[in-house]
Amino acid sequence: MSDDLERNLRDLAFTYHEAKDHLLRSLEPLIHDIVGQVLPEIAKNSLPPIVAERLDGFARLHLNQPIELAVSAQDHDAVQALLPPKTLFPLNVVKDPSMKHGQIRLRSGKLGCDIDMPALLSDIQGAVDDFFTLTTRKQAHV
């Protein structure tokens, strides 16, 4: 009786792992599509409120000190359009040729803050790729 029970439990465990692996393999393309197509759109829409929040924090910490907001040439006009015509603090928006679309740098004196949406999206993509790579390797060893 215990041999039958042991064999049945092994079979159930194997079936569970097969089902889990099949589910993960079937979800992989969907998750990659979400990361590759949906997240960039979310990031694009999230950038203005993130910049506004950081800019507000910077302005509070660095009252009466000039703040430089460096952006890519591609983002310059859009960022400039989001800002009010007059601010309560000295603000200079500059094009930085070294910056990519979605990168922003706030500076006041020696202090700075970088916002890098492309790096964030790349990190998320890498984490998803690593997850599925590790899952595939585990399947190969089972």
Quick: pLDDT tens for 97-134. 999 999 999 998 888 899 999 999 999 999 998 988 87
Give per-residue pLDDT as tens, 129-142.
898 887 766 665 55
Distance (Å, rounded) from C-alpha 104 to C-alpha 109? 16
Residue 97 near residue 73, CB atoms below 8 Å: yes
Average pLDDT of the chain is 84
Per-residue pLDDT at 12 exceeds 70: no
Nearest to 75 by CA among 115, 113, 119, 37: 115
Name which residue leads in pLDDT, 90 or 19. Answer: 90
Dist CA 63 CA 48 (whole Å):
22
Q: How far is CA 36 from CA 10, 15, 123, in A?
A: 39, 32, 12
Question: φ and ψ at 109, to 5 degrees?
Answer: 65, -130
Q: Percentage of residues in the chain with pLDDT exceeding 90?
A: 25
Q: What is the mean pLDDT of residues 47-55?
A: 85
pLDDT at 115: 92
Q: Residue 59: how many CA atoms within 13 Å on its side-chain side?
A: 13
pLDDT of residue 104: 93
Strand partners, 22: none
d(CA 43, CA 47): 6
pTM of the model: 0.69
